[in-house]
């Protein structure tokens, strides 16, 4: 089967995806990127049944999201996704979200890891390399490094809600952006969250399970904010950084 490395699809912004003031929530962009990736995978012959039959699934390991412009309820956005890297157990996708007038609203770079039973990483099947040949330069999977949580960090304890669980029976990757923003808002970063141009970098360590008790820690760091999410035993689930888009 032949399919382009890059495809586009249209998505209409729903009212409940927007925050006070009318602009779309950052987490919605990750949901759009995920939806576009599934459309692309289906077009390439790798639908949900294909994965189920082989006991395979993709998990998001790292995301870099740049929010670059406004969008609100009722807007029909153009969402693109492109396979820009493929290696061993990894795939990298670049996504762009354009407004109705063609302006760039958001850009998303996502590193996915192929997993088998028990969500253990496995090699990407050869069929993928036939359809999406690796680019010459390759890529190094992204990481988010954090120092130890400082004593002055703002702590937020909460439980996973049923509405945050996706078909994989764990918290969907987009929900972690909401966790991050809620913690930063409590820590005093409200003005930063209102910036028109802002960057989110998230590295997912382990999945949060239904009903789990979680602890979010946020603090000022370098030119922005750092965030660590851990479970009740102190194991890191997410490491993240938030800042203005460099050069903005």
Residue 160 sits in the same domain as residue 117:
no
CATH number at residue 173: 3.10.129.10
Tally of domains within the chain: 2
Task: Output the pLDDT for position 222.
Answer: 82
Residue 173 sits in the same domain as residue 213:
yes
Task: Output the pLDDT for position 248.
Answer: 60
Q: 131, 163, 182 — which closes off a domain? A: 131
Task: Output the pLDDT for position 2.
Answer: 72
Residue 124 sits in the same domain as residue 163:
no
Flag whether 139 is in a domain: no
Task: Output the pLDDT for position 134.
Answer: 78
Mean pLDDT per block of 10 residues along the chain (248 residues) reads 88 95 95 96 95 95 97 97 94 97 97 94 94 81 96 98 93 97 96 93 96 97 94 97 85
Residue 196 sits in the same domain as residue 95:
no
Task: Output the pLDDT for position 93.
Answer: 97
Flag whether 143 is in a domain: no
Task: Output the pLDDT for position 100.
Answer: 95
Residue 162 sits in the same domain as residue 195:
yes
Domain extent at residue 26: 6-131
pTM: 0.94
* Spatial separation of the C-alpha atoms in residues 168 and 145, rounded to whole Å: 27
Flag whether 203 is in a domain: yes
Residue 15 sits in the same domain as residue 123:
yes
């Amino acid at each position: 089967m032949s399919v382009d490395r890059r495809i586009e699809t249209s998505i209409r912004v729903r009212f409940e995806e927007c925050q006070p003031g009318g602009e779309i929530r950052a987490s919605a962009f990750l949901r759009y990127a995920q939806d576009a990736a599934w459309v692309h995978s289906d077009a390439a012959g790798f639908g949900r049944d294909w994965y189920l039959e082989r006991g395979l699934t993709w998990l998001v390991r790292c995301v870099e999201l740049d929010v670059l412009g406004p969008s609100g309820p009722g807007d029909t956005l153009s969402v693109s996704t492109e396979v820009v890297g493929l290696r061993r157990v990894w795939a990298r996708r670049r996504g762009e979200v354009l407004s109705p007038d063609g302006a760039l609203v958001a850009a998303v770079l996502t590193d996915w890891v192929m997993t088998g039973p028990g969500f253990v990483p496995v090699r990407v099947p050869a069929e993928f390399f036939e359809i999406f040949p690796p680019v010459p330069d390759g890529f190094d999977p992204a990481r988010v490094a954090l120092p130890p949580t400082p004593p002055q960090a703002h702590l937020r304890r909460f439980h996973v809600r049923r509405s945050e669980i996706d078909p994989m029976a764990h918290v969907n990757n987009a929900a972690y952006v909401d966790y991050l923003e809620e913690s930063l808002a409590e820590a005093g970063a409200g003005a930063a969250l209102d910036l028109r141009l802002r960057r989110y970098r998230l590295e997912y360590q382990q999945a949060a399970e239904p009903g789990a008790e979680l602890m979010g820690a946020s603090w000022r760091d370098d030119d922005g904010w750092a965030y660590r999410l851990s479970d009740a035993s102190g194991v890191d689930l997410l490491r993240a950084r938030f800042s203005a888009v460099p050069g903005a």
